[in-house]
Amino acid sequence: MEFLINLLSLLGSLALFLYGMKIMSEGLEKFAGERLRSILSSMTRNRVMGVLTGILITALIQSSSATTVMVVSFVNAGLMTLAQSIGVIMGANIGTTVTAWIISAIGFKVNIAAFALPLLAIGIPLIFNSESKKKSIGEFVFGFSFLFMGLSYLQKNAEALQIGDMVASLLAGWAGSGGFLTILLFVLVGAIVTMVVQASAATMAITLMLFDMHIPGFGFEQAAALAMGQNIGTTITAFIASMTANTQARRAALAHMFFNVFGVVAVLCMFYPFCDFITWIVTDVLHMSNNDLFKLSAFHSAFNIFNTLVLIWFVRQIEQLVCKILPQKDQDEEYRLRFISGGLLSTAELSILEAQKEINVFADRCQRMFSFVKTLLQTEKDDEFVSLYSRIEKYESITDKMELEIANYLNQVSEGRLSSESKSRIQRMLRQVDELESIGDCCFNMGRTLSRKRQYTEEDFVPGQLDHIRSMMSLVEEALNEMVAIVAKSDLQPNVPSKAYNLEHEINNYRSQLKNQNIQDVNNHVYSYQIGVFYSDFISECEKLADYILNVVQATCKK
C-alpha cells in the first residue's frame, strides 16, 4: 500500500511539474503573443536570424515543443516558409537547453519549493485581475511555482520509492550487454519516455535528478545518452500536430525529426570523444567541476549547438529532401479547408491565426463565386450555362461546409486558455463566417434566378434592364473588393471605413430606384410581368448581398 501511495505521489509530482510548465508557457504566450508572432514572422528572413529567433522564443516560453508547434502552425497558415521554419526549429533545440541550466543551478541545491507558496500569494491577485496582461503574468507566476514544487516533490518521492536502487539493479542487469549497447538502449529509453510525456524538459529534469543521485552504473555517459534520446522523442509533438495539417506543415515537422535524428546519429559515431571533450570544457576551461549537473547541461547544449552548426549550411538541401519525401499532391482541393483540418494544430492563442487565414480564403471564394454569376449573366450557350451554374451550386455547398468547419474549429479554440481580447476576436470571427456563408447563399440565389428565367421563359432582359443589372453588380463587386481587402488586414482597422458604408447606402438607394422603375415599366408594357419578377428578384438579391458584405466588414473591424 505504501509503495502504491509513493508511486502515485511520484506521478502526481510529475503531473504538477508538467502542469506548471504548461501554464507558465501559456501565460508568457498570452502576455507577449502579438510580439512573438511579429518576431517569428519578421525576424526569420535568413537562416542565422531564424536560429537566433528560435533560441530567443524558446528561452522565453521554456518549451521547444510549444515553439515547434507554433512554427508548424505558421507554416500551415502560410505565414512562414519551410526554409524559415527549419532555421527556427534549429534555434528552438538550443533554446530548450536553458531549462536544464536553470535546474542545474538551483533545482536540487536550493529548496525552491520553500519560495513557491509566497510566490503563489503574489500571483493570486494577478490571476483574478480583470486586465488580461496582469492575468497572464499571474499565470506565469503560478506556473513557475508549480514547476519547481513539482520538481521538489519529484525528488522526494523518487527517494521514497528508492528509484536509485531500482535503476542500479536495472543497470546491473544490462551491464553484460556491453558498454555501447547500453548507451544505445538509453537513447531508446529517452526517446520513448519523452514521446509518452511529450515534454523533453520534464524528461531532462528526471535525467538530472537521477544523475544527481550518483547511482552506481549511471554516470555521465548514460545520462548523456538519455538526453540524446529526448531530442528524438520531442519531435513527436510537432509530428502529431502536423498530422491534420497541409503538406508544408508536415514537411516542417519532418524536417524537425530529421534534424534531431541526424544529430543523434552523428554524435553517437564519436560519442566517447564527445563526452571527454565536454568533461574537459566544464572541468578545465569553465572550472565547474563542483557541480556535475553542469556537465550534463553542457552536453545537452553542446549537442544541439554542434547539430545546428553542421546543418545550418544545408537548410536548402533539407528542404529539398523533405519535399521529395512528402510531395505536393496534384489534386483539386477546392472542397476542403487549406489551413485547418478539424484538429487543433497549436496552442489556443495561435490557432486563431490559422482560422483567420481560412476566413481570408472564404472571403476570396465568395468573391470568385460572385464573378461566376457575372459570367453566367452573359453566357448564351446552353452547355456552358449548365456547366457554370453547376459550379455555382458546388461553391454554395463549399461555403456551407466552410462555415460549419471553421465555426467548429473556433469553438474548439474557445475552450482553451484565452485572453479576453482573443475571446472577443473569436466572437467577431464567428460572425464573419456566418455572414460570408450568407453571401454564398445570395450568389447561389442570383444564379438560380438566371437559371429559372432561362427555364421558364424564352424572353430575355431588355437592354435597359441589363444595363441596370450590370451597374448594380459593379457596385456590389466594388463592395466585395473592399470587404476582401479589409478581411485580409484582420484587426488593423479600428473603425469601419466610410467607403463601406457609402457603397451599402448607394446600393440600397439604387435598389429602391430600380424597383420603382420596374413597376412603371411593367405597367407600361416595356417587358412582361414574368421577366419583371425575375429582374426584381435579381436586384433584391444584390441588395441583400451588399447588406451581408457590410456585416462582414463590421465584424472584422474592432468597432
* Domain regions of the chain by residue span: 348-556
On whether the CB atoms of residues 155 and 147 are closer than 8 A, the answer is no
Q: Which three cell numbers stand for residue 222?
A: 548514460
Greatest Cα pair distance in the chain = 106
Q: Which of 151-155, 182-186, 443-447 has the lowest mean pLDDT?
A: 151-155
How confident is the model over 173-192, as pLDDT tens digits? 554 445 778 788 888 888 88
* pLDDT at 35 (0 to 100): 59
The helix/strand count (H/E) of the chain reads as: 23, 0
Q: Mean pLDDT, the chain, as a whole number?
A: 79
Q: Which three cell numbers stand for residue 337?
A: 479547408
Report which residue type is found at 397.
Answer: S
- DSSP letter at 108 equals T
Angle between helices 113-127 and 132-160 (to 10 degrees): 150
In this structure, the dihedral spanned by the alpha carbons of residues 425, 426, 432 and 434, taken in order and rounded to 10 degrees, is -160
Complete DSSP assignment for 333-349? -TTS-SS-BSB--S-HH
How confident is the model over 463-486, as pLDDT tens digits? 999 999 999 999 999 999 999 998
Q: What percent of the chain has pLDDT over 90?
A: 20
Best CA proximity match to 294, nearest among 221, 208, 361? 208
pLDDT at 339 over 70: no
C-alpha span between 55 and 64 (Å, rounded): 9
Q: How confident is the model at residue 290 (pLDDT cuts 50, 70, 90)?
A: low
Best CA proximity match to 451, nearest among 390, 410, 510? 390
Angle between helices 82-95 and 315-325 (to 10 degrees): 110
Of 53-62, 98-107, 415-424, which has the strongest mean pLDDT? 415-424
Q: How confident is the model at residue 550 (pLDDT cuts 50, 70, 90)?
A: very high
pLDDT at 543 over 90: yes
Query: Would you say the C-alpha torsion 297, 303, 306, 309 has a positive or negative sign?
Result: negative
Q: How confident is the model at residue 345 (pLDDT cuts 50, 70, 90)?
A: very low
Average pLDDT over residues 158-166: 60
* pLDDT at 494 (0 to 100): 64
Q: Which is more confidently placed, 178 or 146?
A: 146
Q: Which three cell numbers stand for residue 237?
A: 509533438
- The residues, any chain, with a CB within 8 Å of residue 429's CB and separated by 6 or more, are 352, 355, 356, 359, 406, 410, 555
* pLDDT at 465 (0 to 100): 92
* pLDDT at 557 (0 to 100): 80
How confident is the model over 297-328, as pLDDT tens digits? 888 888 888 888 888 888 888 888 888 888 86
pLDDT at 332 over 50: no
Of 29-38, 66-75, 115-124, 362-371, which has the strongest mean pLDDT? 362-371
Q: Which is more confidently placed, 266 or 40?
A: 266
CATH class for the domain made up of 348-556: mainly alpha
